[in-house]
Amino acid sequence: MMAMTDTRKLSNIALIGFMGTGKSSAGRLVADTLHFTFLDTDDVIEARAGKLITEIFAQEGEPAFRKLESGLVEELTHRRRTVISTGGGLPVKPANLASLKTHALVICLWASPEKIFERVGHQPHRPLLHDPDPLAKVRSLLSAREPFYRQADVLVNTEWRSIKDVAQQIIHQFRLAQSVHR
Ligand code: S3P
């Protein structure tokens, strides 16, 4: 279960996890249900840059994108009642996860590489999957990231669940954590 200090606040919900695990879809539904604001880090970065993530990767490189991501994470510490959906690579930087944990319950959405590939393998807007063998890329990236994803407070398997069911699980876990931490 959760290892939290008494100083930790649970004002927000942060969703982490690999591409295609349903962070944005489930996150929007959770936000609607709880009357929270929904924020997607990729959307904010794209809006500010005035270009798509694929363009940022192509023109400025992945490190530049990661800097924008970390900068944005730091801005979120004063948020309240927000569901934050994060880009799949964001928790790989420990400072990002540590920062999210100061104000949010961090929930990781999980799915197998095969399921992820089925969901996003053919989508053109994910630069990291522009690879001759996208399934192999999903497998290797997912296993490299697993130790980071596992540092979430809660892990929700999305493999066979509908978006609605995943959203309900998230809300249930949030309420549970809040009741423990009041
Ligand atoms: C990335 C995931 C994407 C986006 C970028 C990099 C990753 O977000 O941030 O393409 O490193 O896994 P989603 O997880 O929302 O697709």
Ligand 1 in reach of 138 Cβ (< 6 A): no
Query: In the predicted model, what is the mean pLDDT of residues 99-128?
Result: 91
Number of H helices, E strands in the chain: 8, 5
Atom 16 of ligand 1, residue of closest alpha carbon: 19
| Cα 132 from Cα 113, distance rounded (Å) | 16
CA distances to 2, 82, 104, 108, 145 from 79, rounded to whole Å, are 21, 7, 9, 20, 26
Query: In the predicted model, what is the mean pLDDT of residues 8-37?
Result: 96
Task: Indicate which atom in ligand 1 lies nearest the CA of residue 92.
Answer: 11
Please enumerate in sequence order all residues whose Cβ is within 8 A of that of 40, keeping only pairs 6 or more positions apart, or say none. Answer: 23, 24, 27, 84, 85
Question: How much of the chain exceeds pLDDT 90, in percent?
Answer: 84
Tokens of 51: 């270009």
Identify the residue with better confidence: 4 or 77. Answer: 77
Tokens of 20: 């295609």
Pocket test of ligand 1: the residue of 19, 70, 148 to mutate, having most ligand atoms within 8 Å of its CB, is 19
Judge whether residue 25 has pLDDT over 50.
yes
Atom 12 of ligand 1, residue of closest alpha carbon: 88
Judge whether residue 1 has pLDDT over 50.
no
